[in-house]
Structure 1
Amino acid sequence: MNEEKYICHACVGEEYISKLIMNTGKAKRNCSYCRKRKKNVPLEELVPILHKMFMEHYEQPEDGPFYHQAGDPAVDIIQDQLSVDEQAAKDLLSSLEDENNDLHGLEIIYDETYNYIKVNRSENALGIAWEKLEESLKKESRYFNHQVKDFLDQLFTDIDKLQTKKNQSAILTPGIDMTFYRARVFENEEDVVKALQHPERYFGPPPHDLAPSGRMNARGIPVFYGSTSPEIAVAEVRPVVGSFVVVVPFRTLCEMRILDISALKSLREVGGSIFDDQVAIRNDKANFMRTLARKLTLPASGRNPENDYLITQAVAEYLSQSEESRLDGISFNSTQHPTGKGEREKHQNVVLFSKSARIMGAEPNSRSYQVELYDNVEDDRWVFSPTIEKVEVNKRTKYSFSYFSEKLNPSLQIRSDQIVIHKVKGVSYETSQSGITLIVPLQPE
């Protein structure tokens, strides 16, 4: 295209590009299409913007550029995306060919006979970045990894503004008196009695020096792993037949902010122009967040779970320290006890970060219980009827450990009157069945 042409803001129906022409264009010449003297720009100024759109959102069908059963011609795409007339679209395509086709090297990107299909590459880009982070944590740096921090800063910025397809936030805000359940498995009754004598310590987060590595915490960093129902709590500890499972409910003593990782699957894309980089960034994030739940809850390979959990631990640590997010924990759907049809409430696991997992009465010498598992109903007949009774403790001095720990307000309190012991009599599984078809080999003639 030898003649220089101009296009005005009124000849472009796409709002974002029209405003761009209004802000940067000049009205000292006539528009080449409507012939009116309105703010306009040389047509070539839109070529890099269109090329970027094609590179990020379109590709030629797998069967080749001449396969006309899939996709649309470039002129039609330009017309639709910019809302311009056919002649302007043809002129823009001609400019795209002049600027980007390597005729001598025979690399043809644009041609009026080619078809193009729309694709979404944003998930792949962030997915590749995620994989690089995993490698960096395993092989380069674990504790001062700026690459990880920079990526997570970008990913979780403005997390409050992300909305699900039902216009709900991914941030849950359970108020006071919300109940979370925590379960532990015991092989014998003696261990059950020992744990129930000090339930605040046995069922809350372990001390720093005893905290094992987990999916959402590194070794030595205690967190609270709980569930939203007693059924999930039992399922998550995977008890064997003959064992005892004690389920302890905890009530929240303060309002909390919890990121629902499972809700990230249903984040909706924000509306806006395909040419607006900020819209693209937000939608790239929403697209990747849809896969983040799966990535964060994938089972460990089994050989080296601590290594497999490095990236999930890094994410949890980042979120626990983020001053912008101000999160108390995260939640995600249970795979051990999936939500069934017709159930309103989702079955979720909850992880409360160390700062939000302080149990009232967990300090040494603060409280204990007298435990009886059996009741003598008549003569020598005993029935399993567990009871606990609070035992008075000695008055603490101001120099005791508990004196200093009380400076931090507790966030959880055990509901002692709702503790339940489960005797595991059997385990059931929900499966899907696939029969195997026997293929009879052909007989030779």
Structure 2
Amino acid sequence: MNTCSTPGATRGGDDDPYFVEETKASSELTVGWRKMEHSLQFESRLANPMVGSILTMVFDDIEDLRSKDDRSAIVIAGQGFPISSFQRGRVFQDEQSMEEALTHPEKHLGPVPGGKGSPGRMNAKGISVFYGATDDHTAIAEVRPPVGSMVVTARFDVIRPLRLLNLNDLASMRPHRGLSYFNPIRRSLSERCAFLKDLQRQLTMPVMPDSAESGYLITQAIADFLATHEKLNLDGILFPSVQVQQDTSPGQNVILFHKASGVERLEDTQKAEYVSLWEPDEDRWVYYPEFWEAEPKDSDQSSRYVPLVPPPEPSLRLARDGIVIHKIQGVRFSTEIDPVHYVPWSKDRKYHGFR
């Protein structure tokens, strides 16, 4: 981890205006973290006691830390809170498969069933979780659609309060302002906050597709740890998108752990009665996507299959009037340009490399 500053008291702040606290990340955490990374990659990926030990040091009691404006890194999502819904996108390359998905959008636009999901930044293969975003723009960018394809975005309303760890806020955590600068507890907390600042950058760095399997090891381990941490009792994680420039969209990504990824109306009796993408208008066809809800049916509880492991309690409700089709007509890239300097052969050349 690099050296970073944690503003316990900054110029113009609410403490001593002439004192700026500069703290290096905890060496114990930094060394332990590197050992944990090596152990996960080359020794043991499942039952690894080092993972639990180091992550406990990092995340235990994190709800007690606050930013300078007294904001916690743990936020609540749900009705009546700033975040009350999430957008989720899915790519389609033909109208037939998209029309089929609209016959039961909860099933086809919601999380992939357990055992079928591919590995992601915060989940191992086969673990069903909910990946979404706080706005359409971010949701579309995250599925990386090719030009000519269609992305269907759907709004999922949060129907019960969810506790989320906001990775964006890790970088601004600081010890409580009431702790003296000469208190050894404050120094320990400051070193931990400095470590969290570097950790936030590491967790949100882009991972190349060819190295995704190893690059996701750490974030998957963190997600598993936080999903089962009884004291923190988290339902998911908010984190910035690496596909969208932060100055172009305020949106964030979200992962809801398996226990909080349940969606209402997954029964087959909730399928739509009629779905179409086009309708006739005199002598031509007009693009007019719609689906008609079927008449409610009473499900026979006595004949329903009861799974050995019941699905998670629903946390989300798809807003059937909040589904949008986006036709991808172009993709924009943001680049940083570095020219390659060409040096022709010459008898006078003395050296090469760093100037």
Following TM superposition, by how much is the alpha carbon of 1:372 offset from its aligned partner in structure 2, in angstroms? 0.5
Tell me the residue number matched to 1:151. 54
Match of 2:135 in 1: 229
2:300 alignment partner, SS class: coil
Question: Residues of 1 paired with 2:299 and 2:143: CA distance?
Answer: 36
**1:191 is aligned with what amino acid?**
S
Higher relative contact order (CA 8 A, sep 6+): 2
- 1:151-202 deviation line (CA, Å, top 9, x unaligned): 1112111111111232211111122271100001111001101111111111
What amino acid is the match of 2:109? F
> For 1:248 and 1:290, how far apart are their aligned partners in 2?
33
SS of the equivalent of 1:207 reads coil
Which ranges of structure 2 fall in alignment gaps of 5 or more residues? 1-20, 349-355
Q: Is the contact made by 1:182 and 1:227 (CA closer than 8 Å) also made in structure 2?
A: yes
CA deviation digits over 1:383-441, x for unaligned, max 9? 11100111246542223137999986411011111100011111122334455667799
| Alignment match, 2:264 | 360
Which of 36, 54, 71 is the matching residue for 1:168? 71
Establish whether residue 388 from structure 1 lines up as the match of residue 297 from structure 2. no
Letter of the structure 2 residue corresponding to residue 330 of structure 1 = I
Is structure 2 residue 231 aligned with structure 1 residue 327? no
**What per-residue deviation string (whole Å, max 9, x for no partner) do you get for residues 354-392 of structure 1?**
11110001234443352100011113x001110011124
Q: Say if 1:369 and 1:390, in contact at 8 Å, map to a contact too.
A: yes
Q: Secondary structure at the match of 1:411?
A: strand
- Once residues 310 and 99 of structure 2 are traced to their aligned partners in structure 1, the CA distance between those partners, rounded to angstroms, is 27
Q: Which residue of 2 aligns with 1:283?
A: 190
Alignment equivalent of 1:181, drawn from 73, 87, 107: 87
DSSP 3-state at the match of 2:156: strand
Provide the C-alpha distance between the structure 1 equivalents of 2:231 and 2:163, rounded to a whole number of angstroms: 12
Moved more, 414-423 or 167-176: 167-176
187-196 vs 272-281, which moves further:
272-281
Label 1:201 to 1:259 Cα distance change in 2 as closer, same or farther (>3 A). same
Q: Of 99, 119, 122, which aligns to 1:213?
A: 119
**How far 1:311 sits from its partner (Å)?**
1.5
Shift of 1:227: 0.2
Q: Indicate the residue corresponding to 1:251 in structure 2.
A: 157
* Aligned partner (choices 147, 150, 173) of residue 267 of structure 1: 173
TM-score under structure 2 normalisation? 0.82
| CA–CA separation in structure 1 for the residues paired with 2:194 and 2:122 | 23
Over 3 Å counting, the alpha-carbon distance change for 1:421 and 1:369 in structure 2 is farther
Aligned counterparts of 1:440 and 1:408: Cα–Cα separation in 2: 66
Q: Which amino acid aligns with 1:389?
A: W
Matched ranges for 1:196-207 at <5 A: 196-207=102-113
Question: C-alpha displacement at 1:242, in angstroms?
Answer: 0.7
Query: Post-superposition shift, 1:123?
Result: 4.5
- Alpha-carbon shift at residue 254 of structure 1 (Å): 0.8
Corresponding residue for residue 4 of structure 1: none
- Within-5 A mapping of 1:46-85: none
Quick one: distance in 2 between partners of 1:415 and 1:217? 25
Given that residues 131 and 254 in structure 2 are in contact (C-alpha distance below 8 angstroms), is that contact kept between their aligned partners in structure 1?
yes
Q: 1:218 to 1:152 in 2, by over 3 A?
A: same
- The percentage of aligned residue pairs carrying the same residue is 36
Amino acid at match of 1:174: A
CA distance in 1, matches of 2:268, 2:229: 31
- Residues 79, 158 of structure 2: 8 Å contact kept: yes
Distance in 2 between the 1:140 and 1:404 partners? Answer: 33
Matched AA of 1:372: S
Asked if structure 1 preserves the Cα contact closer than 8 Å seen for 2:205 and 2:242, the reply is no
AA paired with 2:105? P
Once the 2 structures are TM-superposed, how far is the Cα of residue 301 of structure 1 from its aligned partner?
4.1
1:228 CA displacement: 0.2
CA contact (8 A) 1:270 1:282 kept: no
1:318 and 1:241 mapped to 2: Cα distance? 38
Q: Deviations over 1:284-328 (max 9, x none)?
A: 211111112222222334334223212211110111111111111
Structure 1 residues 301 and 234, CA gap change in structure 2 (3 angstroms)? closer
Q: Distance in 1 between matches of 2:261 and 2:327?
A: 28
After the TM superposition, which residues 119-138 of structure 1 pair with which residues of structure 2 at under 5 Å, given as runs? 120-138=23-41
| Superposed CA offset, 1:30-86 (max 9, x none) | xxxxxxxxxxxxxxxxxxxxxxxxxxxxxxxxxxxxxxxxxxxxxxxxxxxxxxxxx
Mapped to 1, the partners of 2:328 and 2:241 lie a distance apart of 20
Q: Which structure has the larger Rg over C-alpha atoms?
A: 1
For the aligned residue pairs, the C-alpha RMSD in angstroms reads: 2.8
Aligned with 2:254: secondary structure?
Answer: strand
Instruction: Determine which structure has the larger helix proportion and give its number.
Output: 1
Structure 1 residues 145 and 374, CA, compared in 2 at 3 Å: closer, same or farther?
same
Q: Which moved more, 1:365-374 or 1:226-235?
A: 365-374
Flag the 1:123–1:356 CA change in 2: closer, same or farther, 3 A: same
- The residue that corresponds to 1:374 in the other structure is 278
2:328 pairs with 407, 421, 424, which one? 424
Aligned AA (2:256):
L
Cα separation, 2, equivalents of 1:301 and 1:337: 16
